[in-house]
Amino acid sequence: MNYRIISIVFLSFFLTALLAGAADTDSGDTNGNQAVKGKQLVKQGNCGFCHTPLIETKEGAVPAPGKTLAGFPSGMELPELPEADVDSEEWLEFLASLPNTVWAGPWGLSFASNITPDPGTGIGKWTEDIFIETMRSGKHIDLKRNISPPMPWQDYGKLSDEELSAIFAYLMTLKPVVNPVPKPIPIKRKEPNK
């Protein structure tokens, strides 16, 4: 089993744990602990797995300092999609070579978004209502496009408004990181031989 498949399986388990754990949390947030609750939900959902870039150290891959939830690092070279079929050995090797902030599949390449409160490159201009609507609809309100795979917005959309509000409150406490993330790159379809 390759690294990407294992990662997707783990991500699914984490989301299941998030939804199960979220159901057990107190939705009455009268003590000002909304951001603390949001941090817990972000941790349970393992958002950092895709949205925080990793760097290699002597100890192995670790989260890049100062880049928590900043998405695909600007300035990083964009990977090129292989011309081989998606289910080929070449594609499996390609998937295993991608950094954690890039995903590829039949849709093409997608890059983890900057979900820090930077107003220019992150979600700093978003309101709580926009965040909740984005998680419910699967559409970027400000970009007028669908959220790209593998973002499990359908699962996050099942969270309560209070839980999504808590996640948003936590994200707004993060250090804003200026980090423009590229738009998704669609796969080039081969023309059928005539």
**Mean of pLDDT values over 68-81:** 92
188 within domain boundaries: no
171 within domain boundaries: yes
Kind plus residue range of the DSSP H or E element containing 16: helix 3-23
Domain hosting residue 91, numbered range: 3-25+33-182
**Mean of pLDDT values over 83-89:** 88
189 within domain boundaries: no
Q: Which residue stretches of 107-160 are H helix?
A: 128-137, 153-156
What is residue 134's DSSP assignment?
H
**9-58 pLDDT, tens digit each:** 444 444 444 444 443 344 444 435 999 999 999 999 999 999 999 999 99
**Mean of pLDDT values over 51-75:** 95
150 within domain boundaries: yes
192 within domain boundaries: no
9 within domain boundaries: yes
What angle do helix axes 128-137 and 161-171 make, rounded to 10 degrees? 120
Q: Is the pLDDT of residue 88 over 70?
A: yes
pTM of the model: 0.80
193 within domain boundaries: no
79 within domain boundaries: yes
- Helix, strand, coil percentages (3-state) for the chain, rounded to 5, are 35, 10, 55
Domains identified in the chain, total number? 1
- Measure the CA–CA gap between 23 and 26, rounded to whole angstroms: 8
Q: b or e along 68-97 (b: 16 or more beta carbons within 10 Å of the residue's beta carbon)? A: bbbbbbeeeeeeebbeeebeeeebbebbee
CB-based burial of residue 134 (10 Å sphere; 0-12 exposed, 13-18 middle, 19+ buried)?
buried
